[in-house]
Amino acid sequence: MFKQQRRRIYTSVIVIGLIIFIAQFVYGNQVDPGSTEDPIVTQSYVEQRIQQLRFYVDEKLKEIPNTSVVDDNETNSSSTYVVVELKAGESVIAGAGTEIIVRSGKVLAKDSPSGGLSDVTGAVDIKKDQVVPANHLIIIPRDDGRGVKAEKNSFLLIRGAYQITK
Structural domain harbouring 23: 2-63
CB 146 within 8 A of CB 110: yes
To the question of pTM greater than 0.75 for the whole model, the response is: no
CB neighbour burial string for 83-105, b if at least 16 within 10 angstroms, e if fewer = ebebeeebbbbbbeebbbbbeeb
Alpha-carbon distance values, 94 to 18, 53, 73, 86, 129 (Å): 78, 35, 12, 14, 16
**Better-predicted residue by pLDDT, 138 or 71:** 138
Count CB atoms within 10 A of the CB of residue 20. Answer: 10
Residues 33 and 110 in one domain: no
Q: Report the pLDDT value the prediction gives residue 115, as an integer from 0 to 100.
A: 86
User: Would you say residue 57 has pLDDT above 90?
Assistant: no
29-38 tens-digit pLDDT: 666 666 666 6
Residues 49 and 99 in one domain: no
- How many domains is the chain built from? 2
Alpha-carbon distance of 129 to 127, in angstroms, equals: 6
CB 140 within 8 A of CB 97: yes
Report, as an integer, the average pLDDT of 112-119.
88
Residues 27 and 92 in one domain: no
Q: Report the pLDDT value the prediction gives residue 69, as an integer from 0 to 100.
A: 40
CB 112 within 8 A of CB 145: yes
63-114 tens-digit pLDDT: 776 544 444 445 676 678 889 999 999 999 998 889 999 999 999 999 888 8
Q: In terms of DSSP H, where are the helices of the chain?
A: 2-28, 43-63
Q: Report the pLDDT value the prediction gives residue 87, as an integer from 0 to 100.
A: 92
CB 158 within 8 A of CB 92: yes
- Which run of H or E residues covers position 152? none
Q: Does 150 reside within a domain? A: yes
Residues 28 and 52 in one domain: yes
Q: Does 69 reside within a domain? A: no
